[in-house]
Amino acid sequence: MSLVNFTAREIACKIVYYGPGRSGKTTNLHYVYDRVPDSRRGQMVSLATQTDRTLFFDFLPIDLGQISGFSTRFQLYTVPGQVYYNATRRLVLQGADGVVFVADSQAQQLDENLESLQNLQSNLLEHGVDVRSLPLVMQYNKQDLPRELILAPADLDDALNFRGVPSFGADALHGAGVFETLKGISELVLKRLAAGSPA
């Protein structure tokens, strides 16, 4: 549900970080917050957070500057990954222009990743959105963990990336892959916006 104001030449897009509990969604936003200059970001809001689990959502507005003459602002959200909070997840997902699916690369988390992907699909369908038409990228997070605990990005592509969307290995704790992922989803969202905008 991007808002394009042709008079003010402003674009605002909503990006949702989705994925199973503890996959590193909030950690992605913290890294972005820490690295984007003050002038390019608003306050990061983490609502109703108990310990380090997200119970409602995180929100971070960032300013991408001028793109094709429009001042472009992205609103980054995370959902709570814990299975129990589905109503909140569905609410946060509403109106998303793009989704970053943050998978946990640990081999033992594969079922949780698959369950969360299915959950994404069914929540999108409830909003009348076909997952195949929505800009989506995959992030395979926690690639810093020991080799024997994790799956390589190519194996995670085989297991999770049914649509063959852009995918990025990441270590959100230290920042590797975080901005590559954000750039990946931004490009897809802006491309889609450009395709749909008046000539």
Ligand X SMILES: Nc1nc2c(ncn2[C@@H]2O[C@H](COP(=O)(O)OP(=O)(O)OP(=O)(O)O)[C@@H](O)[C@H]2O)c(=O)[nH]1
**Which residues of this protein are in contact with ligand X, per CB under 6 A?**
19, 21-27, 52-54, 78, 80-82, 141-142, 144-145, 171-173
Work out how close the CB of 148 gets to ligand X at its nearest, in angstroms, rounded to a whole number.
14
Work out how close the CB of 22 gets to Mg ion at its nearest, in angstroms, rounded to a whole number.
8
143 binds Mg ion (CB under 5 A): no
Distance (Å, rounded) from C-alpha 62 to C-alpha 72?
9
- Binding part of the chain for Mg ion, among 23-31, 99-107, 110-118, 174-182 by CB under 5 A, reads 23-31
54 binds Mg ion (CB under 5 A): yes
Distance (Å, rounded) from C-alpha 112 to C-alpha 139?
15
**Other CB atoms within 10 Å distance of the CB of residue 49:** 15
Cross-strand partners of 104 = 141
Helix, strand or coil for residue 72? strand
Q: Are 155 and 106 in contact (CB under 8 A)?
A: no
Work out how close the CB of 66 gets to Mg ion at its nearest, in angstroms, rounded to a whole number.
31
Classify the C-alpha dihedral 107-23-176-92 as positive or negative.
positive
- Tell which one of 26, 113, 116, 167 touches Mg ion (CB under 5 A): 26
The binding site for Mg ion (CB under 5 A) comprises 25-26, 54
